[in-house]
A and B are shown apart, each in its own frame.
Chain A
Amino acid sequence: MIYTVSYVVVGGRKKYPSGMMNQHERPVVGSQVQLGSNLFEITEVKRMLPPSDDFEFLHVTCTPVEEPSDDQEAETELA
């Protein structure tokens, strides 16, 4: 099966572009995806269209994975 996936970043259309790609692995909630230079965590996976031949069409919502700042890292170490 090939998954044709529409990726949308929650609340981030102006800051983050959405994405589209074909992949062999079905996206799963909690996994991460790289779109351009940004990393996102998948929060929801829905079927967009019924499967056709060997293709399944999915809609995925995701949130940015924030890189910890130096200050945050220092706070984490202190905690």
Chain B
Amino acid sequence: MNEVKQLLRRISLFRGLSDDQLDRVAQITRSETHPADAVIFEQDETGDKMYLVQSGQVEIRVKDHAGVLSSVLIMGQGQIFGEMALLDHGARSASVVSLQPTTLNTISGDDFKGLCQEDTAIGYVMMRNLALDLSFKIRHQNSFS
């Protein structure tokens, strides 16, 4: 549990949470490991969990309308992905593949919503941080224009 808490402290999504609050988040976090070149999920699939990169790197790949697949982003330690489906229940907007042996932590949508409803203080902080994370990603995207 302490190892998971140490990871959570390094992820901006959980900044501002107290030690006890991090304990509660750690309780709904699951770990999974993937070898290199493993498909984490595919674009257009339905998704019900978000992922936190504990170690390794993953590649975000997007297929355009012509079916051409492009690598658009590499995410490393401390980054989160898959959170959009958690919020809007839409299909996955990209495919994600591990580039090297990778350890991910996951939080399911049901567990996330359950925790936010049970403890609205945690819910407020995490929703605020999720908005800030999306803002960071939009600013990153805007840097190309």
CB-based contact B75/A21 at 8 Å = yes
Interface size bucket, B side?
20 to 34
Bound form: Cα–Cα A48–B141 in Å: 12
Chain A positions within 8 Å of B73 at CB level: 17-20
Secondary structure at chain A's binding surface: helix, strand, loop or mixed? strand
Asked if A6 and B140 make an inter-chain contact with CB atoms under 8 angstroms apart, the answer reads: yes
B40 within 8 A of A: no
Chain A residue nearest in CB terms to B140: A6
Which A residue's beta carbon lies closest to that of B15? A53
In Å, the complex CA distance between A20 and B6 comes to 20
- B110 CB to nearest A CB, Å: 27
Query: A residues near B, CB below 8 A?
Result: 2, 4, 6, 8, 13-14, 17-23, 35-37, 48-49, 52-55, 57, 59
Bound CA span A1–B139, Å:
21
Given contacts A6-B140, A17-B73, A57-B136, contact A22 B16 (CB under 8 A): no
CB-nearest residue of chain A to B100: A36
Which residues does chain A contribute within 8 Å of B79, judged by CB atoms?
20-22
Instruction: Check if B11 sits within 8 Å of A20, measured CB to CB.
Output: no
- Closest A residue to B139 by beta carbon equals A48
Q: How far is the CB of A51 from chain B (nearest CB, A)?
A: 11
